[in-house]
A and B are shown apart, each in its own frame.
Chain A
Amino acid sequence: MERAAPLTRTATGKPSFLRANAEAIAFVVMAAGLIVAPFFTYPLFLMQAMCFALFACAFNLLIGYVGLLSFGHALYFGWASYLAAHSAKVWGLTPELAILTGTATAAILGLVAGSLAIRRQGIYFAMITLALAQMMFFFALQMKFTGGEDGIQAVPRGYLFGLIDLKNEAAMYIVVLVIFLGGFLLIHRIIHSPFGEVLKAIRENEPRAISLGYKTDRYKLIAFVLSATIAGCAGATKAIVLQLASLTDVNWPMSGEVVLMTLVGGLGTIFGPVVGSFVILLMQYKLSIVGEWVLVIQGIIFVTCVLLFRRGIVGEIAARFKG
């Protein structure tokens, strides 16, 4: 993995190995942790968490690096999971093709919604993405193939490439791990590419980027489609893993949840969304006994994060590190 962050120098003037390679080290630790983790805790929980982590990373690509708050990312996550579930169950596609179908759906939806939403800036952008997602929620509610309130249940996991039986938990786990790490590296690559640098320039000062000759709308749209596509890939994978696609995944609280995960982990940090989604999912899992209070607790976390803790967990750690 290439070294992305500028070298920070220690007091002696030499770049410390730890600091210079912080991202690479963190990535290795994360990958190793995810390989070992299923021996200690429920693989199904980990797979679900990885799907949400990828979803949050995709969301973070927009908010963290282009400064666009999409409040409707459930649209891509949920619709991709519907299409993946439907194509696996009804059309009998193999899981990798089902995931591709879902991902492609999200890409198309992202292109349409993105080209509408980027017509307005700032706060309007958030409201437009939310409203478009709500529209697609109603479509999902009304259309026959989605199964309405029941969703699409008992989706077969099928045979990967027609060969490997994914009912085997270990095989499924490896598939999800590969998708997650692949998606994560892709996002890392995007952020540190020349394209990503232009995105950051747009985040910092859009008029200036325009005056430098960049067609910022085109950059924003491409970033939006990429984010929607990766979010879709996460949703499609989740549908195969949990063998379920439901209204929960397209509804607005899901959009809020991915915002929360990213905010808790750290907006605009590469590892933040991953940490955030594991923390939030673990919390929901541990707190399932308190029922509706989860909503209140999530709200309190939102308020606390915004008021006191805007850098998020990873952001705070990084700030300490740089000291």
Chain B
Amino acid sequence: MFEIFGIPSGALFGQLLIGLINGSFYALLSLGLAVIFGMLNIINFSHGAQYMMGAFAAYLMLKYSGLGYWPALIVAPLVVGLTGVLVERLFLQWLYKLDHLYGLLLTFGLALIIEGVARNQLGSAGLPYVVPDALRGGQNLGFMFLPNYRAWVIVASLAVCISTWFVIERTRLGAYLRAATENPTLVRAFGINVPVMITLTYGFGVALAAFAGVMAAPIYNVSPQMGSELIIVVFAVVVIGGMGSILGAIVTGFGLGIIEGLTKVFFPEASATVIFVIMAIVLLVRPAGLFGRRA
């Protein structure tokens, strides 16, 4: 054990790790928000609730059908993503011509419905979800102990973030998407089915949230309010990063997670508020956000 700035290295690296884990979730969720906003011009307030749905889907699958973590990691995002497709077809598609605010209000209402149902069905106490067998235990790195599951979360979310970035920025499909974001009418004129693309984009963004939820289940308890607490922080992350850039969302998410982790070590009282304070500072210094374009 050695010390850095008077803090035992174990504690420091431990908090850094927690920061990275939180950062993975910030990145995954703000990425989903950015993708949805780019295509639908809607801020998806129910993103947190859909993250919670992912965690609950995993929990229910384990409880009632004995399907464990790995199937849940695939099935839960698919199922929740499908509900997203339904939501888009049933509700959101009627709002595109209106002020952005209505999209926010509608998805806020959806978030209340989802959270309310979860509370009624499952109670508001947290439910435990076990770490999968393959990822039990951990590695002793000499300066700290690294639980395998946490390492997996960081690697997996990085992989998902980077592949999303790759698909959007470097493939033909992504080019269609970006083009449709800029000028949907023109892209439709080229014979591309933009409404279907919009629907699937929303489904994909929601599936990302659910994927994050499944990964979060073994770390945090599964509880109905897990999403609403997180989503407000993610909003601050999005304000800091700006939603113009996919890579920006990822970098900001991880970066802020780390800063939050460090704050827990050096100034624990401020750890709950540090991201909001950073948001205020960024607004003062760079109103458009770190990666944002001036609207």
Contact = CB atoms under 8 A, between A and B. Distances in A.
B126 interface: no
Interface in A90-146: 116-117, 119-124, 126-128, 130-132, 134-135, 138-139, 141-142
B101 A300 contact: no
Interface stretch (B51-59, B112-120, B130-138, B252-260): B112-120
A131 B239 contact: yes
Interface string A278-322: 000000000000011111111111110111001000000000000
Name the interface size band of chain B. Answer: 35 or more
Interface in B237-272: 238-239, 269, 272
Interface stretch (B152-160, B199-207, B273-281): B273-281
B250 to A, nearest CB: 18
Interface in B277-294: 277, 279-280, 283-284, 287-288
Contact of B287 (A119, A252, A303): A119
A288 B137 CA distance: 47
B101 A69 contact: yes
Contact of B277 (A130, A135, A294): A135
B104 A307 contact: no
Given A119-B287, A122-B100, A127-B43, A299 B111 contact: yes
Interface stretch (B5-13, B19-27, B228-236): B228-236
B105 interface: yes
B166 interface: no
A132 B105 CA distance: 19
B190 interface: no
Nearest to B276: A135
A132 B276 contact: yes
Contacts, number: 128
Nearest to B123: A292
A302 B112 contact: yes
B91 interface: yes
A293 B117 CA distance: 7
B116 A293 contact: yes
A120 to B, nearest CB: 6
Nearest to A141: B272
B-side interface mostly: helix
A142 B101 contact: no
Contacts of B238: 127
A123 B43 contact: yes
Contacts of B102: 306, 310
Interface string B80-100: 000000000001001100111
B165 interface: no
B287 A120 contact: yes
B108 interface: yes
Name the interface size band of chain A. Answer: 35 or more
B189 interface: no
A134 B276 contact: yes
B104 A252 contact: no
Given A134-B232, A135-B276, A126 B239 contact: no
A263 interface: yes
Contacts of A38: none
Contacts of B98: 310
Contacts of B94: 307
A147 interface: no
Contacts of A306: 95, 102, 105-106, 109
Given A116-B280, A296-B117, A302 B273 contact: no
B141 interface: no
Contacts of B109: 298-303, 306
Contacts of A67: 99
25 contacts: A116-B283, A117-B283, A119-B283, A126-B43, A126-B101, A126-B104, A128-B239, A131-B276, A131-B279, A132-B279, A134-B236, A135-B277, A142-B272, A252-B232, A256-B112, A259-B105, A263-B105, A293-B116, A293-B120, A294-B116, A298-B109, A299-B112, A299-B114, A300-B113, A310-B98
Interface of B: 37, 43, 91, 94-95, 98-102, 104-106, 108-117, 119-120, 124, 228, 232-233, 235-236, 238-239, 269, 272-273, 276-277, 279-280, 283-284, 287-288, 295
Given A123-B100, A128-B239, 10 more contacts: A67-B99, A120-B295, A126-B101, A127-B236, A132-B280, A298-B116, A299-B113, A299-B116, A306-B102, A310-B102
